[in-house]
Structure 1
Amino acid sequence: MSENQNLLAEQRRALILDEVRRRGGVRVNELTRKLGVSDMTVRRDLDALARQGVLEKVHGGAVPIVEASTHEPGFEAKSGLELSAKEDIAQAAAALVAPGSAIALSGGTTTYALAHRLVDVPDLTVVTNSVRVADVFHTAQRLAAKGQSGATVVLTGGVRTPSDSLVGPVADQAIRALHFDLLFLGVHGISVEAGLSTPNLAEAETNRSLVRSARRVVVVADHTKWGTVGLSSFASLEQVDTWVTDAGLPAEVRTEISERLNRLVVAGEASGDGAGEESGEESGRESGQESGEGASAEA
């Protein structure tokens, strides 16, 4: 009996989706043999993935849904996907933030989840181009006890995107004048070939500005973002210091990207503390960061 029979449904579905994307389609009987589960279990998994809109069921199996590289889902459409994964990622990422830090949070539903975890961290300075993220901190300040100081929030100007990010020349100029210790970056897609990408050209340029201004770059993205490629790339994997993801990321992918990242944090796999396991070898780039060299600056 296959060892994969005991996988959680979420992990099993991640493996199925990876097979579909990697091979361009799979049959039900192939998945039952690979995963060591019943035909009915596989069909339920395919139904669930089809409802999420990440694959299309066909007679006897499934094929990937090919979206235009310019397709950009709205904030509300994305906010209901992978909720447990985003919460795990947010918890693990929040542990990287020290009191008194200057941090930046890009737009996105995962950074939005992270913002809720950071409202109680003392003396933060938060730079963001996300209207939703700024609202989290402003709401927390209004609800705080009288006399209690909250984070200092800098919201860039700019043109609003479907994902409620502010982008364009106004945002870029504001960001380029600033410097922050940590950037938490949500992404539309991540892959070896394309690096970090987005379907929005203006957002790509604003994200480049965020990366240039950050001492360290932390990507917060669930496993479904792996293999997705948007219209415009804005950073390579080598410019990322840490990727915080969830347990649905297949083992073979973890091995593949560990050679390109200083640090991979898999949220939800630690022994009960939710911090996640870490993999990947530290390289000379990390020692350069600690001495003040911004590894996120573009070559």
Structure 2
Amino acid sequence: MTDALHGSEGGTHRRARVLSRLREVGVLSVADLARELGVSHMTVRRDLQRLEMTGHVRTVHGGVGLAVGGSDVRRPGAAEDRAGARRVARRAAELVGAGDSVALDAGPVAYELARALPEDFTGSVVTHSMPVMHLLAERAGEPAGPRLVVLGGELTGRRQALVGPATTDAIAGLRVRTFFLDAAAVDLRGTYACTTAEARVERGLAEIADEVVLLAPATAYTDSAPALVATLNRLTAVVSDGWPPAPVAAALDRAGVALHIAN
């Protein structure tokens, strides 16, 4: 096969098209991309390697998808943000029992929590996150693996989450022990999502959970988002990689919310 687009300019254009298609459909195989771009599988693999090295994409079971965090991966401080997400996720994983039923939110910390689930975890995972679904699909297919409950709906771009009426309808008949909420922002009023559609799904998952655990790296206290999800007194616990700002910490203490600090 002769590459239709070649050279450095062609490579840049190809990679931009790859990212555009992944934002549209979530996950594609190498064969799909080679066919759509009119290039060889080897060329696609080279492009994907470049994109993975720069943090734009992540290899998943059955193909390639956008890296969690999407278009934000190249902003200053992104590496530190990912390290904070991993610290919080590892501490949160200690709160998960081997046979628990949990709901994982869409977002970078929830994705890292899915990665950090212990090897002996055989419980159930409910999620509307496409990256989490693809990450756990292979484990869920194993005889001693977890059960994966996938919530359908309309795919959003930034967090690769499924939202909409189909998603909220699917939540209504479920129950989990713990919902791990990956908020886009946190302040004295509560937790926030980037869109009202995501906020509705997060509220629905909180309603079916016995406990709601907020995953809150340091950036959650400085970022902002428009859609209020839940007030702080709805939370059972917060997992952070440092102490929250004093007013938030005091509010959590008044609400009786447990605080777990990741070392």
Q: Is residue 74 of structure 2 the alignment partner of residue 76 of structure 1?
A: no
Partner of 2:237: 242
Q: Aligned to 1:185, which of 178, 181, 184? A: 181
Q: Is residue 169 of structure 2 the alignment partner of residue 173 of structure 1?
A: yes
Deviations 1:62-92, CA, capped at 9 Å, x for gaps: xxxxxxxxxxxx7323564512211111111
Partner of 1:95: 94
In structure 2, stretches of 5+ residues that fail to align are: 1-67
**2 CA distance for matches of 1:256 and 1:175?**
29
Whether contact under 8 Å (2:100, 2:124) holds in the other structure is: yes
Amino acid at match of 1:241: T
- In structure 2, the CA distance between the partners of 1:94 and 1:78, relative to structure 1 (3 Å rule), is farther
Trace 1:82-161 onto structure 2 (pairs within 5 A).
82-118=81-117, 120-141=119-140, 148-161=143-156
Deviations 1:241-271, CA, capped at 9 Å, x for gaps: 0110112645565345322342011111xxx
Q: Percent identity?
A: 27
**1 CA distance for matches of 2:204 and 2:186?**
18
Amino acid at match of 2:177: D
Amino acid at match of 1:237: L
Count of residue pairs brought into register by the alignment: 190
- In structure 2, the CA distance between the partners of 1:84 and 1:256, relative to structure 1 (3 Å rule), is same
Secondary structure of the equivalent of 2:103? strand
Secondary structure of the equivalent of 2:137? helix
Amino acid at match of 1:160: L
Secondary structure of the equivalent of 1:87? helix
TM-score, length of structure 1 as denominator length: 0.59
Whether contact under 8 Å (1:119, 1:151) holds in the other structure is: no
Secondary structure of the equivalent of 1:202? helix
Deviations 1:207-243, CA, capped at 9 Å, x for gaps: 1111111110001121111154422112110001011
Task: Kindly state the Cα deviation for residue 119 of structure 1 after the two structures are TM-superposed.
Answer: 5.2
Trace 1:266-277 onto structure 2 (pairs within 5 A).
266-268=261-263
Secondary structure of the equivalent of 1:218? strand
Whether contact under 8 Å (2:243, 2:249) holds in the other structure is: no
Amino acid at match of 1:75: G
The runs of at least 4 aligned residues of structure 1 exceeding 6 Å deviation read none
TM-score, length of structure 2 as denominator length: 0.67
Deviations 1:135-187, CA, capped at 9 Å, x for gaps: 11113356x6xxx4211101100111121011110000111110000101101
Secondary structure of the equivalent of 1:121? coil
**1 CA distance for matches of 2:105 and 2:148?**
13
